[in-house]
Structure 1
């Protein structure tokens, strides 16, 4: 299972392994049990060009630029 980062308002950041289908749902904080929102960090662009040059949205909302290094 993938590991995602979450941020609890009371305790701070933590990581937890979750199914992809559950990644955007709040996760319970392991210290206090409060619901914590997922921390989403944008990845740096590796393909060059402008942000408007995205070609197609893949599954899970990922976007690929022509000539990207991942595929």
Structure 2
């Protein structure tokens, strides 16, 4: 189940909520009981092989310089 990060505008607490994607935009209360919360934008960094949309490995490549055949 996806995890979404929220911040409370009243107390400043940042917290995570697990819920289905269909309910991602629903408001939620902070652990202190405040209703004035906002869903934060999550960022994800990925590294992949050339052509997969990530960062291409360097020459000699792989995760450990090419010695393991990965």
TM-score normalised by L of structure 2? 0.54
Unaligned 5+ segments in structure 1 are 48-65
* 1:39 equivalent in structure 2: 40
Bigger shift: residues 30-39 or 12-21:
30-39
Q: Which of the pair is proportionally richer in strand? A: 1
* 1:24 equivalent in structure 2: 25
Q: How many residues align?
A: 53
Q: Which of the pair is proportionally richer in helix? A: 1
Computing the radius of gyration from Cα coordinates, the structure with the larger value is: 2
Q: CA RMSD in A?
A: 2.6
Check conservation: 1:7, 1:13, Cα contact below 8 A: yes
Displacement after TM superposition at 1:6 (Å): 0.2
